[in-house]
């Protein structure tokens, strides 16, 4: 342990109490690895503050002793952004689990950074409201981490990403300054929105300790439809049409035909619609009508008039009962586990301009198959947001496949990170995605709010820019 | 003209052409005053660039010659944020009027900073989409100014403020760096979101030249209801209930009884519902049903079960035909003109925590009447967002009434600026609204992106902080 680190740890124990500073390897190990076990680091200490004052004191100590901190939530990221890969001290926010009473008048709630998405959803539901973001890792992912990575998920097409839910935050910046805006003011134009700046900053500017979040109306009776389409191009076009014609559309998920058939095989069930389609589209809507099936069917039929959809609408599987809806959703949600069942998965999470989405899906699958004929490629994602998850398994080792995929993304004007951020995994790619002027501007902001570079210093910025 | 300014103007003429640099007083005067004529300044020159390259060159020249610039759009602000009150050079963005073809697949459009909201709405509608923000100044307000002030308007409760519509921007920062993110990537977590940082920054960090904006589904058949309620407390509570129970609610506007009766008198028409109510609530919804009236009436009745609403629901005026809806909307939209008809208006635009909204409306009206018995106070606004417009006319001169109102806002944990920003008008109030740590952090960001302090240097920050 470096002497600065030893002094920091000694002082930190006085701040949070010795029980909340872990230094024994068997205790720190779980905090040094992410859930995929792809990213494994080491740390001299894990510090677990219990409130914002403790966090502020720890940041001041870290500045004084020049100790790097990695803020950590539920560790459900995929890019190595919250594990101490360079031996940083881990600042775990999981003790900040307070949930204040839901403000029913405002439709808002204030929660601690360590609250899981699942706990937040439950609190909202109990008060007759809902939370606008949902994702598969709901029982582990924490609000702080979701803000730091601007998490997206299934309903961005309806409610926006995490950024759109954040009304305000309490946070400790890298300077040690505590900023706090928790009064729930939806319209509040009094200078720079520091909460929005922290959204997606991956713990490099400040540490969120609490957040004031907007809630949304709970959905009415839901309808889910699964359609098999003649091409990904048709799926993208149909999704666009549904966004303007289907009342209450709240999820638009697309999958390639290969991904779908592999997933059905993994689940051991037959596809409930056209089994040989080139692409599949899963639609969830809250049509707010007495006869939701009819409304959705009408909308599908009306929307279908504008595209070359084959028999997709006639053969669509439509479900309204909860159990039946869940069965259709399984074909989408089981895609990652179907991939994982085949071996170690390369996971990439990218966004394409909508006009490039179908071409990307078509070409990248062919390019991977050409180079690694034994590989299985899964392509699925949130077509309403242009977001594709690329999972490749059983073929390539090393990072060649990541390079192949990200190269195509950049060439088509896409984003190399849709939902998980840059972290460690993608930082060498950042200069391909963002211009020198943008990276320089980001570095100036980093320098302004974290002048000593103590907050997650090894993520986001490429090494040759440091 | 200072020598640095003279050199800047000479160089600027080479950049934009002599026709686009105005220096004669009769030419510059219209650019030195806002539409309310409350804010009137003077300027040695108005420069009108035609594209981003020219803007970048002008920023570089301004840095070299240490000339302060005031970026200017449609001048529809209310806080003196876009007029050269200290003799700054005006940078008018009104030539940037390009509207690219609507991207129908993505539901997005790229437009120049000088495009008016009205032109944007028309382009969206022609492509089968709509724009999520609407406000009364739609024919003058420009996209650049709306981003710089994070404009809100009538449908924030449904679609969010301007910030929520911005997918990306092209902008020139105070360093001269050009940042550009116009590919329409809804999910794009590749470092700090500089576009979001520019939203609401009032031209102090960068100059937006183009924006990529998300569009929304056009509304279906609309229903408008006007209800008279026994108290503002009941109006606030009923609005909260409607947000979770009324499908497709898209506007929730409240007015005090006094404001409403004065406005009806100004219009010379009778109130279409309970004429003696203490508060009024205007509801607009897009219920997406075959019989919209029935659905809204059902929702109102169901929601009414939870509150002490008197005969508000039974006597509600409900309209579905466009002309009838417009008649109900007039009672809300004519509030400012009813105030202006009585004399020079003090206009304040504030947000309260929802739980404080009714108490604020009640108390502030009494406090103003106590001190200025001859004054007429109008209180109306977007109750779904906690946003109240306070208009006071016929009584106070000077800024005493502003002080009285803002004092009450701050005491109740509200925001001194909901929609228009701080500008010049409210900067001495900023330290009451935001903490020293927040103002220091904002100043650090300003220093990072505008190191020479050339962009709108006389707004936002209070003088004693400079």
Q: What ipTM was assigned to the predicted interfaces of this complex?
A: 0.94
**Is the CB of residue A434 less than 8 Å from the CB of residue A157?**
no
Q: Rounded CA gap, A245 and A243, in Å?
A: 6
> What are the chain A neighbours of B414 within 8 Å (beta carbons)?
183, 185
* Other beta carbons within 10 Å of A27: 12
Cα atoms found within 13 Å of the Cα of residue B142, Cβ hemisphere only:
26
Q: B283 and chain A: CB distance < 8 Å anywhere?
A: no
User: Which residue among A197, A220, A387 places its CB closest to the CB of B247?
Assistant: A220
Contact B449 A437 (CB under 8 A): no
User: Which residue among B104, B355, B445 places its CB closest to the CB of A448?
Assistant: B445
**Is the CB of residue B45 less than 8 Å from the CB of residue B64?**
no
The per-residue pLDDT for A307 is 61
Q: Chain A to chain B, count of Cβ pairs less than 8 Å apart?
A: 280
The per-residue pLDDT for A362 is 96
Q: A419 and chain B: CB distance < 8 Å anywhere?
A: yes
The residue of chain B with its CA nearest to that of A160 is: B164
The per-residue pLDDT for A299 is 82
Nearest to A26 by CA among A11, A43, A51: A43
Coil vs helix vs strand at B93: coil
**Is the CB of residue A255 less than 8 Å from the CB of residue A279?**
yes
Contact A421 B189 (CB under 8 A): yes
pLDDT at A78 over 90: no
pTM for the full model?
Answer: 0.95
The per-residue pLDDT for B215 is 97
Q: B424 and chain A: CB distance < 8 Å anywhere?
A: no
Contact B105 A355 (CB under 8 A): yes
Contact A197 B193 (CB under 8 A): yes
Contact A191 B444 (CB under 8 A): no
pLDDT at A198 over 70: yes
* Helix runs in A149-275, H state only: 156-159, 162-165, 194-198, 232-245, 257-267
How high does pLDDT run on average in chain A?
94
CA B306 to chain centroid: 33
Q: B189 and chain A: CB distance < 8 Å anywhere?
A: yes
The per-residue pLDDT for B43 is 97
**Is the CB of residue A78 less than 8 Å from the CB of residue A135?**
no
pLDDT (mean) for A18-24: 97
Q: What is the DSSP string of A82-137?
A: SS-TTSPEEEE-TT---BPPPBTTTTEEEEETT-BHHHHHHHHHHTT-B-S---TT
Q: Rounded CA gap, B197 and A158, in Å?
A: 23
Cα atoms found within 13 Å of the Cα of residue A92, Cβ hemisphere only:
22
Would you place residue A306 in the very low, low, confident or very high pLDDT band (cuts 50, 70, 90)?
Answer: low
Q: Name the β-bridge partners of A109.
A: A213
* Other beta carbons within 10 Å of A435: 14
Strands B376-382, A69-72: pairing is: unpaired
Q: B262 and chain A: CB distance < 8 Å anywhere?
A: no
Q: Looking at CA atoms only, how far is residue B1 from chain A in angstroms?
A: 31
**Is the CB of residue A250 less than 8 Å from the CB of residue A156?**
no
Sorted by sequence, the CB contacts under 8 Å of residue A4 that are 6+ apart come out as A65, A66, A67
Given the structure tokens 């904006």, which residue do they identify?
B213
In a mutational test of the B interface, the residue from A109, A172, A189, A442 whose CB has the highest number of chain B CBs within 10 Å is A189
Q: Rounded CA gap, A144 and A52, in Å?
A: 13
The per-residue pLDDT for A56 is 98
Contact B440 A189 (CB under 8 A): no
Contact B190 A433 (CB under 8 A): yes
Host H or E run for residue B148: helix B143-148
The per-residue pLDDT for A370 is 96
CA A448 to chain centroid: 27
Q: Rounded CA gap, B377 and A97, in Å?
A: 44
CA A22 to chain centroid: 28
The residue of chain A with its CA nearest to that of B177 is: A437
Q: A221 and chain B: CB distance < 8 Å anywhere?
A: no
pLDDT at A464 over 60: no
User: Which residue among B183, B218, B449 places its CB closest to the CB of A413?
Assistant: B183
Contact B107 A243 (CB under 8 A): yes
The per-residue pLDDT for B247 is 83
Nearest to B82 by CA among B27, B30, B14, B25: B30
Q: B447 and chain A: CB distance < 8 Å anywhere?
A: yes
Coil vs helix vs strand at A238: helix
Between A395 and A339, name the one with better pLDDT.
A339
In a mutational test of the A interface, the residue from B56, B177, B191 whose CB has the highest number of chain A CBs within 10 Å is B191
Would you place residue A466 in the very low, low, confident or very high pLDDT band (cuts 50, 70, 90)?
Answer: very low
User: Which residue among B180, B190, B416 places its CB closest to the CB of A190?
Assistant: B416
**Is the CB of residue B195 less than 8 Å from the CB of residue B173?**
no
Given the structure tokens 């989408």, which residue do they identify?
A332
| Stretch 304-363 of chain B: residues touching chain A, C-beta under 8 Å | 351-355
The per-residue pLDDT for A395 is 82
Contact A105 B422 (CB under 8 A): no
Cα atoms found within 13 Å of the Cα of residue B284, Cβ hemisphere only:
23
Q: B245 and chain A: CB distance < 8 Å anywhere?
A: yes
Q: Looking at CA atoms only, how far is residue B21 from chain A in angstroms?
A: 28
Nearest to B441 by CA among A392, A181, A6: A181
Q: Looking at CA atoms only, how far is residue B196 from chain A in angstroms?
A: 7
Residue A458 gets the label, from left (phi > 0), alpha (psi -120 to 50) or beta, of: alpha
pLDDT in tens, chain B (466 residues): 677 999 999 999 999 999 999 999 999 999 999 877 788 999 999 999 999 999 999 999 999 999 999 999 999 988 889 999 999 999 999 999 999 999 999 999 999 999 999 999 999 999 999 999 999 899 999 999 999 999 998 899 999 999 999 999 999 999 999 999 999 999 999 999 999 999 999 999 999 999 999 999 998 889 999 999 999 999 999 999 999 888 889 999 999 999 999 999 999 999 999 999 999 999 999 887 777 776 787 888 887 775 678 888 889 999 999 999 999 999 999 999 999 999 989 999 999 999 999 999 999 999 999 999 999 999 999 999 999 999 999 987 888 999 999 999 999 999 999 888 999 989 999 999 999 999 999 999 999 999 999 999 999 998 743 3
| Stretch 5-64 of chain A: residues touching chain B, C-beta under 8 Å | none
The per-residue pLDDT for B361 is 97
Q: Looking at CA atoms only, how far is residue A175 from chain B in angstroms?
A: 9
Q: Rounded CA gap, B302 and A370, in Å?
A: 61
Sorted by sequence, the CB contacts under 8 Å of residue B274 that are 6+ apart come out as B227, B228, B310, B311, B312, B315
Q: Rounded CA gap, B267 and B279, in Å?
A: 18
Contact A189 B128 (CB under 8 A): no
Given the structure tokens 């929802």, which residue do they identify?
B354
Q: Rounded CA gap, B283 and B228, in Å?
A: 12
pLDDT at A318 over 90: yes
Contact B183 A447 (CB under 8 A): no
Q: Name the β-bridge partners of B70.
A: B90
Between A220 and B382, name the one with better pLDDT.
B382
The per-residue pLDDT for B205 is 98
> What are the chain B neighbours of A421 within 8 Å (beta carbons)?
189-190
Coil vs helix vs strand at A332: helix
User: What angle separates helix A232-245 from helix A354-371, to the nearest 10 degrees?
Assistant: 150
Please give the angle made by the CA atoms of A355, A230 and A375, to the nearest 5 degrees. 80
pLDDT at A136 over 60: yes
**What pLDDT, in 10s, does the model give residues A326-380?**
999 999 999 999 999 999 899 999 999 999 999 999 999 999 999 999 999 999 9
Q: A223 and chain B: CB distance < 8 Å anywhere?
A: no
Contact B187 A418 (CB under 8 A): yes
The residue of chain B with its CA nearest to that of A149 is: B189
Cα atoms found within 13 Å of the Cα of residue B363, Cβ hemisphere only:
13
Nearest to A277 by CA among A316, A307, A306, A241: A316
Given the structure tokens 């279409």, which residue do they identify?
B272
* Helix runs in B151-251, H state only: 156-159, 162-165, 194-198, 232-245
Q: Looking at CA atoms only, how far is residue A191 from chain B in angstroms?
A: 6
> What are the chain A neighbours of B240 within 8 Å (beta carbons)?
104-107
The per-residue pLDDT for B307 is 61
The per-residue pLDDT for B254 is 98
The per-residue pLDDT for B237 is 93
Q: Looking at CA atoms only, how far is residue A270 from chain B in angstroms?
A: 31
> What are the chain A neighbours of B179 within 8 Å (beta carbons)?
435, 437-438, 441
Q: A409 and chain B: CB distance < 8 Å anywhere?
A: no
Sorted by sequence, the CB contacts under 8 Å of residue A386 that are 6+ apart come out as A351, A352, A353, A354, A357, A414, B106, B184, B185, B186, B187
Sorted by sequence, the CB contacts under 8 Å of residue A180 that are 6+ apart come out as A52, A168, A169, A170, A171, B435
Sorted by sequence, the CB contacts under 8 Å of residue B55 that are 6+ apart come out as B49, B91, B93, B172, B207, B209
The per-residue pLDDT for A110 is 98
């Amino acid at each position: 342990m470096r002497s600065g680190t030893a002094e920091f740890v000694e002082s930190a124990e006085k701040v949070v109490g010795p029980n909340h500073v872990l230094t024994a390897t068997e205790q720190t190990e779980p905090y040094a690895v992410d859930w995929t076990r792809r990213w494994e680091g080491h740390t001299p200490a894990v510090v677990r503050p219990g409130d914002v004052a403790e966090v502020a004191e720890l940041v001041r100590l870290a500045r004084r002793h020049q100790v790097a901190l990695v803020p950590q939530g539920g560790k459900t990221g995929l890019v190595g952004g919250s594990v101490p890969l360079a031996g940083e001290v881990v600042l775990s926010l999981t003790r900040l689990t307070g949930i204040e009473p839901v403000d029913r008048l405002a439709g808002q709630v204030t929660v601690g950074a360590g609250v899981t998405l699942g706990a937040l959803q439950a609190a909202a539901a109990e008060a007759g409201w809902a939370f606008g973001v949902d994702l598969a890792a709901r029982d582990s992912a924490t609000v702080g981490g979701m803000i730091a990575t601007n998490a997206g998920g299934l309903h961005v097409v309806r409610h926006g990403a995490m950024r759109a839910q954040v009304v305000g935050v309490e946070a400790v910046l890298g300077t040690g300054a505590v900023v706090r805006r928790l009064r729930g003011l939806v319209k509040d134009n009094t200078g720079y929105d520091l909460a929005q700046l922290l959204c997606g900053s991956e713990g490099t500017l400040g540490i969120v300790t609490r957040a004031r979040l907007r809630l949304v109306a709970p959905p009415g009776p839901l309808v889910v439809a699964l359609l098999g389409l003649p091409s990904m191009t048709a799926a993208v076009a149909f999704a666009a049409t549904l966004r303007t014609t289907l009342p209450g559309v709240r999820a638009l998920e697309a999958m390639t035909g290969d991904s779908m058939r592999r997933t059905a095989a993994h689940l051991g069930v037959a596809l409930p619609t056209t089994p040989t389609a080139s692409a599949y589209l899963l639609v969830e809507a809250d049509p707010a009508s007495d006869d939701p099936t009819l409304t959705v069917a009408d909308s599908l039929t009306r929307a279908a008039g504008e595209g070359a959809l084959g028999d997709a609408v006639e053969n669509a599987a439509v479900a309204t009962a909860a159990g039946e809806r869940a069965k259709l959703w399984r074909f989408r949600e089981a895609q990652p586990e179907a991939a994982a069942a085949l071996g170690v998965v390369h996971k990439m999470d990218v966004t394409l301009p909508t006009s490039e989405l179908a071409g990307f899906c078509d070409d990248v699958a062919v390019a991977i198959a050409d180079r690694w004929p034994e590989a299985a490629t899964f392509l699925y994602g949130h077509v309403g947001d242009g977001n594709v998850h690329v999972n490749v398994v059983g073929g390539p080792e090393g990072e060649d496949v990541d390079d192949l995929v990200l190269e195509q993304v950049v060439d088509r004007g896409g984003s190399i990170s849709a939902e998980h951020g840059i972290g460690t995994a993608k930082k060498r790619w950042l200069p391909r995605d963002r211009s020198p002027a943008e990276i320089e501007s980001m570095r100036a902001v980093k320098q302004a709010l974290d002048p000593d570079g103590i907050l997650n210093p090894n993520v986001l910025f490429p090494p040759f820019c440091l």
